[in-house]
Structure 1
Amino acid sequence: MEKKIGAYLCSGCGIGDALDVKALEGVVTKEFKKRVKSHECLCGDAGLALIKADMEAGEVTLPVIGACSPRVMTDRFQLPGMTAIRANLREQVIWSHPAGDEDTQMLGEDVLRMFMTQATKVNTPVPYTEGEFSTTILVVGGGFAGLTAALEAVKAGHEVLLVEKKATLGGNAAGWSAIVPSKPPYHDPEPNPVARMIDEVKASAAIRVVASATVAKTSGMPGRFQVELSDGSSHTVGAIVLATGFRPYDATKLSHLGYGASPDVVTNVEMEAKLSAGKVHTHAGAAPKAVAFIQCAGSRDPNHLPYCSSVCCSVSLKQAIQLTKADPEVMVYVIYEEMRTPGVTEEFYRAAQEAGVIFMKGKVSKVEGRHGITVTVADELLQ
């Protein structure tokens, strides 16, 4: 829309007595070549009607009002569809300088020039027009976290694009025998729900699964991301959830703990596979009489990973309880530096103690033996 500037000068509140309003009008008409009108009370109904009539007739789209401070009469000069520029001739000119003085007149004209110039430089604000945003959520990863995110997003009313790099869903969790409890009383491991979650995802009309694919490129912004997948397809999504799983630490770097020297030294992941298969036995095929869990193996160690994984303690508790329930005669030890079981997981920690799991605070100094393993621990609890 073409910008049409018009000036409206108020001669009320002493402005007409202190300033030469006709000279002010000349500034508008001669220097800026714009239309100008004066009124003795612009904030009154008659004065507002003057401005409104010109705007409705299309003669003015941006009024410059030379009157009182823009901090007052805000309700009067905010007519529907009206954006006004206000030049303060009252407080900043006639109330703070001598009436009828030449310098006061010059100041008034300069103030009017400034705001007329502003009017020529600015454009009338254009209301923001909402673009086409996508409410589809991209979930990257089809493991436990990704499946959970997808199902919860559908419950919230969103469509989901679920991308998994493998041919099947489930990720690491697909092979778990059980999970850490998520419901009261938090005492026993819970059945692995991943198979059920996969069935729910596949049955949902709101979830599109793209397997054997990865995200090749993303661009755009929240609400309108352009996503290119490795299969060549392109998609527009509103949000992206990264649920890309985890990678177990390379246990071959933990030779000081006996890994690789004895086939009976295994990782939590390998123990989980044994529990899932229902065959926890030594390399010789015998049922173990004692099992020791060494915590922070490769974690919280400046020579390996300096941070805590945050899940190892809970997983060891789960596996320890599973072992004691499968064979009450087996001795199960958990050797730890600090047990990290935040929140309700503390109840699970207590359940493991009540189940007979033996907890030892200390650092493992060495692991020896091949078919009969000896673990030497520096007890730090009593020192």
Structure 2
Amino acid sequence: MVEASADNPDTRQSMCGADIATLDDALRQAGVPDKQVKMRRQQIWSWLYTHGVNDFDAMHNVAKAVRAGLAEKFSLARLRVGDAQYSDDGTRKWLFRLHDGHEIETVYIPEAGRGTLCISSQVGCTLACRFCHTGTQRLVRNLTAAEITGQLVAARDALDDWPTGSASNSDARKITNVVMMGMGEPLYNTDNVVAALNVMSDGDGLALSRRRITLSTSGVVPDIARVGGETGVMLAISLHAVRDDLRDELVPLNKKYPIADLLDACRAYPGLSNARRITFEYVMLKDVNDTDADARELVRLLAGIPAKINLIPFNPWPGSPYVCADWPRIEAFADIVNRAGYASPVRTPRGRDIMAACGQLKSQSVKETAAAKKMAELAARKLQRPVA
């Protein structure tokens, strides 16, 4: 559950983002008899995740004594929004400040007929993928399951996306899809990610279709089958290269789990079929991985895997060592893949003006905090210098 922080001095733990076991435990702590726990949990689950209430008193079908007992020990506080940015193209980026002062970013991308929420799984990242801005930020810690689910809850609040708001039914929902493509590697936090995805997809609560949830991994091979078997969500692979020597450079995790092992795990993904294809993400880097030969090798590697290939124009960031492939080169690459029978949409860059596009998630406040710390250190040294 979400904990108290300096910004939110309420010492009660928040039940927002809690899973079934956590809610059951909270009810027992609040004095609910064991024989009533399941019934009360079902009621509270609905209020939390179907209606999005943030006050126990709004839970009208829960006994007043139970509400009072819960309110004494727990809150329904959301993740705190430290900053919000809005792109000209409708994309929104939220900086959420966690109980320990660390920060994560979550992005909402509206499109015709759908709205996708890009969720983080870690504070920072340990993979150091060379084309990814988040990869330049050190890993601090894993997010809890409640902090992962809490991003969806907070986004629905911000978008007025609960049935009591403008979204009176599922067809009107602004958030229709969730992608685990934010900060961090989800399969280096598998336990919490699995727990959170199962809360998000529970039909009696947040009720996202498992086919509308996609988990993206750089290739943590041992956990791929597990996450498929325990969640049933869609899988995306951050591939980005067709040769091990190049992928070792772009995605250093490849040194541990090379391409052949990764693709074997993909072929064994639970539920894989033409109706449940794996998405392979491929960032287009000029003169690095964008040749016709690369496209043909990609087709050869994916033979027999029900798949689609997302071609991603590289989003430059200050200090990045790469530039985006030229548009005619991207089109030629896509044409080779298409003619081989694979859907290969070119992802439209979104939110570039607020650094919310693919590979750009890194908190500006992290840089500002580091700069302020450096200035303070310099000032302290200056004060310590002996007077001549």
TM tier relative to shorter chain: under 0.3
Q: More strand by proportion, 1 or 2? A: 1
Look at both structures and tell me which one has the larger radius of gyration over its CA atoms. Answer: 1
Q: Name which structure has the greater RCO, CA cutoff 8 Å, separation 6+.
A: 2
Q: More helix by proportion, 1 or 2? A: 2
